[in-house]
Amino acid sequence: MVKLTIGSIGDSFSIGSLKAYLAEFHATFIFVFAGVGSAIAFGKLTNEGALDPSGLVAIAVAHAFALFVGVSVAANISGGHLNPAVTFGLTVGGHITLLTGLHYVLAQLLGAILACFLLKFVTGESIPTHGLGAGVGAIEGLVFEIIITFALVYTVYATAADPKKGSLGIIAPIAIGFIVGANILAAGPFSGGSMNPARSFGPAVVSGNFSDIWIYWVGPLLGGGLAGFVYGDIFIGSYASVPHSEDYA
């Protein structure tokens, strides 16, 4: 069953929690700056040409590498979520309280927005936003985002949140980066391959283009929440809630 825990104001504003929010802000900034920056670089090198196979691979690899680093640098402080869908999935499973999770999401959104503002400033280029591919409808795009985000958060649970993970936890940042890169390769030409509301929201705010932004909130949150429910109930069974940044919280 869903194990949402509201939490307390004291826990949400403890020194440990404040450090965790700052870590999420920094790590999300690193991820979004590199991810969006790779898309801007592709556009500049191709004179805003259409995305081709080599460009898709390069952008997927950039996101995978940046997420690997972002998760790694924040893991010991905040758990290294870098993504509201991951935070929501872990909240559903009782690994982080609702109040603390909301602060995580705020920190992630601010990190993403700042990264995009600085990219616009230093490159002078327009900020690319996530969008549906030609011939892809909203429902198809939504289903794509649900599926690939489910895969991402399921991977987070299996490699980082599962109490039986053992030494597998060492490769968690790599596995998480790999699944994001693979999902971008699969979904990029169709839904954009977001899996991350912050990654989509930051560019939307800076560019002023909120077209279909609901897909990149609803899809990832549904996919992440479903993964938290399935893995938590079927494979973990029962576990105690943690108040803040303890063991991938």
* CATH number for 33: 1.20.1080.10
Quick one: 241 exposed, middle or buried, by C-beta within 10 A (0-12, 13-18, 19+)?
middle
Quote the pLDDT of residue 162. Answer: 92
- Per-residue pLDDT band for 151 (boundaries 50, 70, 90) equals very high
Q: Sign of torsion, CA 225 169 29 19?
A: positive
pLDDT for residue 246 is more than 70: no
Q: Which comes out higher in pLDDT, residue 233 or 179?
A: 179
Is residue 4 assigned to a domain? Answer: no
Give the domain extent around 15. Answer: 9-236
| Model pTM score | 0.92
Is residue 148 assigned to a domain? Answer: yes
Percentage of the residues of the chain whose pLDDT score is greater than 70: 94
Domain count, the chain: 1
Is residue 243 assigned to a domain? Answer: no
pLDDT for residue 245 is more than 70: no
Is residue 2 assigned to a domain? Answer: no
Average pLDDT, the chain: 92
Quote the pLDDT of residue 225. Answer: 96
Is residue 194 assigned to a domain? Answer: yes
> Measured between alpha carbons, how far apart are the two ends of the chain, in Å?
19
Is residue 247 assigned to a domain? Answer: no
Is residue 140 assigned to a domain? Answer: yes
What does the pLDDT look like over 23-69, one tens digit per residue?
Answer: 999 999 999 999 999 999 999 999 888 889 999 999 999 999 999 99
Quote the pLDDT of residue 22. Answer: 98
* Angle subtended by helix axes 84-92 and 215-230, to nearest 10: 30
Is residue 91 assigned to a domain? Answer: yes
